[in-house]
Amino acid sequence: MVPLIFHGTFIHSVTPREVDIIENGLLVVSATGKIVFLERNIPVEDVQKHISTLSSEPDLRSAPVTVLKHGEFLIPGFLDTHNHAPQWTQRGMGRGLLIMDWLNTVTFPHEARFKDPEYARETYAKCVDGFLKQGVTTASYYGSLHGEATKILAKTCLEKGQRALVGKCNMARSAPDFYVDESSKESLETTEDFLAYMKELDPECRLVQPILTPRFAICCDEELLDGLGKIAKREPKMMIQTHFDEARQEVEITRQLFPQFSNEADLYEYFGLFNDRTIMAHCIYPNDYEIGRLKECDVGVAHCPVSNTTGGEWGAAPIRRYIDMGIKVGLGTDNGGGFSSSILDAIRQAVITSNGRAVMTGDRNAVVSLNEAFYMATLGGAKVCNLSDKVGTFAVGKEFDALKITTAEGDRVSTLVEDVDTIADIFEKFLMTGDDRNIASVYVQGRSVKN
């Protein structure tokens, strides 16, 4: 890779509510993909003078400078904290069905197709390309239950340059015979084989890492949850993901299957799967006790406002409360669980859904601001994935996962900008009206990855 030098506007979150707009900034990325310099208010004619002070980066002196024009800016790459990769081509199907009907009639039959490695290879290539096109530089992926297909997903992410957490989906019961692990023992063995493969694929987890992925408690018996918990204990840095209080039907069935637990927080915590490495998707219907455990155990929440509001029931998670309590919250597309694979749509729907919750509860404080939604899509998501030391902002020392945004008129225009617009105006217009046509370039670790 070659060094990257940008002069212009850079925008990133510094807190859930505060967005920092850096104007006339200078941002320098080393050939290793790390940010080595960031300053604001530097005249473009002084760029070379500042670059010359970076004696530890000799290649910079000959590197070209990208000057961002009015209507162009950089933001951190989007993180999708909850994504079912096999559902790429089923998105939009089964809207209005309750969760178990949707799984059994739409999702499980579709995911069963990934038994065919060629189908997996073709579909996952489209999936990863599609998310990179839309600015998703990091995705936390559920694979199917198939070990070989999940290996293909991980390899595809690595080859195409997307940062990813990839998990073999564990599901040994409560699913059709054609799409279920042979047994809990076989499910764990396939998981161990996948983990061994991942250690060879990306030994230092620089770009792709494994994540333990019980689909949800309904599809797992005690033997399977216990086995996954033992792996989590053995691998103290490995992430964990599953679903949590997603639907009223799911909550009730879980209680029937695990009558010894009065709530899902205690269930997952008992098996060692509820801690600071856990990503819990949806989190729509937790009680006060469970919310307290989310905070106490430092569990991350993957908020999926599109799928939460287009299934068989309209769900509005208490995101305002999570943010105010300091619980980690990111955004997820859920892929086939909704109608959109766009994090920009998730940003907008997060705001819309919070307004709906405010009306439902009579509490205007429930509203999530646009700044907070952008935070969830970037730095908040990085915290959920335990990657905030690497990505999520433009801090010096972090890896350069970023999007170059353009709102200039031309082939890519979908956000109209006028000369009188401030940078804050342009940023708001992009978040509320932009799409992948505005995402001119996508970088992961300093490498351009958008085809």
- What average pLDDT does this structure show over 234-257? 97
**According to the model, what pLDDT value does residue 154 have?**
98
Residue 85 pLDDT class (50, 70, 90 cuts): very high
CA 180 to chain centre: 26
CA 233 to chain centre: 24
**According to the model, what pLDDT value does residue 244 have?**
98
**According to the model, what pLDDT value does residue 106 have?**
95
- What average pLDDT does this structure show over 81-90? 97
pLDDT in tens, 6-34: 999 999 999 999 999 999 999 999 999 99
**According to the model, what pLDDT value does residue 61 have?**
72
More confident residue, 63 or 433: 433
Amino acid symbol at 424: A
Amino acid symbol at 333: T
Q: How far apart are CA 74 and CA 402, in angstroms?
A: 7
Q: In this model, does residue 410 exceed pLDDT 80?
A: no
**According to the model, what pLDDT value does residue 54 have?**
78
Q: Which two tokens stand for residue 94?
A: 């089964």
pLDDT in tens, 58-84: 677 778 899 999 899 999 999 999 999
Half-sphere exposure of 327 (CA within 13 A, CB side): 27
Q: Which two tokens stand for residue 106?
A: 């739409």
- What average pLDDT does this structure show over 176-191? 98
Q: Which helix (H) or strand (E) holds 439?
A: strand 439-444
What domains does the chain contain, in order, with CATH numbers? 4-76+392-450 (2.30.40.10), 78-385 (3.20.20.140)
Q: Cβ distance 255 to 247 under 8 Å?
A: no
**According to the model, what pLDDT value does residue 417 have?**
83
Residue 409 pLDDT class (50, 70, 90 cuts): low
| Alpha-carbon distances, residue 305 vs 28, 100, 239, 353, 392 (angstroms) | 35, 19, 23, 7, 21
DSSP type of residue 84: E
Q: Which two tokens stand for residue 266?
A: 């205690």
- What average pLDDT does this structure show over 118-138? 98
**According to the model, what pLDDT value does residue 55 have?**
66
Q: How far apart are CA 253 and CA 316, in angstroms?
A: 20
What are the residues facing 164 on neighbouring strands?
A: 139, 208
- What one-character-per-residue DSSP string does 394-438 give? --TTSB--EEEEE-SSSTT--S---TT--HHHHHHHHHHH--GGG
Residue 387 pLDDT class (50, 70, 90 cuts): very high
Q: How far apart are CA 105 and CA 151, in angstroms?
A: 26
Percentage of the chain surpassing pLDDT 70? Answer: 98
Q: Cβ distance 110 to 90 under 8 Å?
A: yes
Q: How far apart are CA 258 and CA 147, in angstroms?
A: 27
Residue 302: CB partners within 8 Å, gap ≥ 6?
Answer: 81, 82, 140, 241, 279, 280, 281, 282, 283, 330, 331, 332, 384
Q: How far apart are CA 199 and CA 235, in angstroms?
A: 12
Q: Cβ distance 155 to 201 under 8 Å?
A: yes
- What average pLDDT does this structure show over 352-381? 96
